[in-house]
Chain A
Amino acid sequence: MDLIAVLADAVRAAVGPQAAVFALAAVGLNLQFGYAGLMNFGQAGFMLVGGYGMAVSVTRFGAPLWLGVLVGLLMGFVLALLLGAPTLRLRGDYLAIATIAAAEILRLLFRAEAAAPLTYGVFGVQQFAADFYAANPFGAGDYGIGRFALSGGQLWVALVGWLLVAAAVGLTALLVRSPWGRVLRAVRNDEEVVRALGKNTYLYKLQALVLGGAMAAAAGMVLALASQAITPDTYASDLSFYAFAVLLLGGLGRVLGPVVGAIIFWLLLAASDSLLRQAITGGVISDEVLSTSDVGPIRLALVGIALILFMYFRAGGLLSRRAPTPTAKATVKAEAE
C-alpha cells in the first residue's frame, strides 16, 4: 500500500477548491446557526441560486462574469429575505422547514423541462467560466512538491476560494466580537429576554440569515467555477447537511470552526477514499466484500462515524471551548458564597 499516495490525496483535497467551497458555506451557516441559532437546512438552495445566478447571467444574457457574480450574490440575498421575512417571527422550526423545502423546490424547479429555456434543465450548462480561467495567473502546469500537487487551474480556483473564505471569516470575526454579535449570541440563548431588553431581534435574525445566505451563494459560485459546469443535482440537499457536518466537526460558534471543519471533512473523505480503493485494487479487501463502486458511500459513512465520535467526545467540535466541568462549577459557587 502506498501511504504517501493516500496522504497526497488527502492533502490535495483538504486545501483544494472543494474544501474552500464547504468552508465558505459553513462560515455562512456558522453565522446563522452557530451564532444566531437559526436552523437553516437549505444552504444548498442558497448555493444553487448563487451558482445559477452567475452562470445564467453569463450564458443566457451575455453578462460579464463580474456582473454574473453580483447577480448570484443578489439572488442569495433575495432568497434569504423571502425565506426569513415570513418565518423569523415564528418559532425556529418554521425556518428549518421553509429552508429545506425551498432548497428542494429550487433544485426541482431548475431541473424541470419547463424551466430549461432559462436554466438548461437537467444537464445544466458549461462554458461560463472562461473569463475566470483566462485570468488564471498560474498557467496550465502543476504546482507543488512531488505528488502533493494541484494543477494551475485548480490552484487558481482554490486561491480565490480560500481568499473568499478569509474575507468571510474576517467579516464574521469583526461582527461577532462587536455589540452586534453579542446581541446575536444572546438571541441564540433566549430570544424573548433580548426583546425584553429593547432589541429588535427579528432584524438581527434577518441580517444573519441574509449575510450567511450571501456567503453560501458565493460558495455555490466557487463550486460552479471549480467544475466549470453547473447542474441542478449538484446542489442536492446533502450539500446542506455536509455544511452542518463541517460546522459541527470544526466547532459551532467559533470563528475558525468552519475552516478547520472543512479541512478535517475533506481529509477524512479523501484519505478513506484513497485507502479503500488501494486496499481493494491491492487485494487487501476482497472485491467480493467491497468493490470500488462501494467506496463512495462507505467513505461518507466513515465521516458519519467521525461525526458521532466527535459528538461523543468533543461535542462542541474541534475548536470548542471546554465546557465548565462540574468541579469548575463548584469552585465558582464556593467563591460566590
Chain B
Amino acid sequence: MTPSSTTGREATRSSGEELILTAQGVRRSFGGLTAVDVDEFTVRKGTITALIGPNGAGKSTFFNVLTGFDRADAGTWTLDGRDVTGLPAYRLARQGMVRTFQLTRSLADLTLVENVLLAAPGQRGEGMGGALFGRRSWRRQERSNTERARELLARFGLDRMAEQPAGVLSGGQRKLLEMARALMCEPRLLLLDEPMAGVNPRLVETLLEHVRQVRAEGTTILFVEHDMDVVVDISDDVVCMAFGTVLATGTPAEVMRDPEVIDAYLGSDEADDETARLARRGHQA
C-alpha cells in the first residue's frame, strides 16, 4: 500500500460517489442468535470491495440475504438505485447481481461450454414454447452465444476442455469455470463468495488477476473473504464484519490498522473470550 494510491482512492471517494449497492438495517436471526445486524452497507460502483471478518462473523449469511438465497427479518437494499429488497435470487441475477458459491458448484454432467451457455441472459429457447416453436430463432441466438461462451472459456484457459463434462475439472479449474459462467450473465455487480478458498496458491494470483480484469471492464465486484492478506492487494474498499455487525469500513490500510478489527481477528483466532468481549464493547461504545 503506497500512500499515493490511498490518496488517489480518497479522491475518487470524495468526487462523485455512485453506489451500486446499498443496504440499510438488514437483520437476520436464527432463533435467539442474531447472525446479521448491519445498519449500513454500501458498495461503490466500479470498485473491488471486500467483505472480511473472522469465521462466524455473519458474512456469508449477509451475502445470502442480499442475493436472495436467504430471507431477511428486516432491512432494505437497493441495486443501482432500485429497491430490490427480498427479490428472489433469479430475479436479482436478471437485474445484474450475480453470485458464485463458496464451495464451488459446477454442473458436472454438463460440458464446460454448456455450463457457460446456460448463463446467457434472454435466451429465446429457454421457455417451453420458444424451445418448441421458435427453433430457428433460438438456434441463431445459440450460435452467437456459443461463440461468446468459447471466448470466455478461452479467457480463463479452459477452451481446450470445452466439450468435456465439467465433472472432470480440478477444484481450481472449477473456480475459473464458475467465474466464466457468472460473467456470461453480464453482471453489473459480481458477488464472489470466498473465491480463493481451497485454491492452490499458484492459482490464487491467476484468480486475482481475473478479478482485476473484470473490474477494468466496468463490473463492480464484492467478495467475501476471511483471509485478510488476500484482500490487501486487490481491494479498493474493505468492510469488516464481526458478530453480525459492521466493525469498520474504509481502505484496506485503514481497516487493517483498526484496533477493533485486529481484536476481532485475534479474538476469534485464539478463541480468546476476553478479547472478543472487549471488541464487542469497543464497537458498542
Contact = CB atoms under 8 A, between A and B. Distances in A.
Answer yes or no: are A and B bound together in one complex. yes
B90 A207 contact: no
A324 B168 contact: yes
A182 to B, nearest CB: 6
A335 B107 contact: no
Given A174-B132, A175-B131, A336-B173, A198 B110 contact: no
A179 B161 contact: no
A300 B118 CA distance: 42
Interface residues of B, number: 48
B105 interface: yes
B250 interface: no
Interface residues of A, number: 32
B131 A192 contact: no
A335 B160 contact: yes
Interface in A87-113: none
Contact of B118 (A182, A324, A328): A182
A185 B109 contact: yes
Given A179-B142, A324-B168, A195 B89 contact: yes
A182 B123 CA distance: 11
Nearest to B89: A195
Contacts of B185: 197-198
A329 B110 CA distance: 15
Contact of B119 (A174, A181, A197, A328): A197
B251 interface: no
Contacts of B69: 192, 195-196
A314 interface: no
B161 A332 contact: yes
A217 to B, nearest CB: 18
Contacts of A198: 90-91, 93-94, 98, 119, 121, 185
B126 interface: yes
B67 interface: yes
A336 B161 contact: yes
A189 B101 contact: no
A180 B128 contact: yes
A335 B105 CA distance: 22
Interface string B48-77: 000000000000000000011100000000
Contact of A192 (B101, B109, B124, B130): B101
B109, B128, B132 — which one has the most chain A CB atoms within 10 A of its CB? Answer: B128
Interface of B: 67-69, 88-91, 93-94, 98-101, 105, 107-110, 114, 117-119, 121, 123-128, 130-132, 135, 138, 142, 158, 160-161, 164-165, 167-170, 173, 181-182, 185
**Across the A-B interface, the 3 shortest Cβ-Cβ residue pairs:** A198-B93, A178-B131, A180-B131
11 contacts: A179-B131, A180-B125, A180-B128, A180-B131, A183-B118, A194-B107, A195-B93, A196-B101, A197-B98, A197-B182, A198-B119
Given A195-B89, A197-B181, 20 more contacts: A178-B132, A182-B117, A185-B107, A185-B109, A186-B110, A189-B109, A192-B69, A197-B90, A198-B90, A198-B91, A198-B94, A198-B98, A198-B121, A198-B185, A199-B90, A200-B90, A333-B170, A335-B160, A336-B161, A336-B170
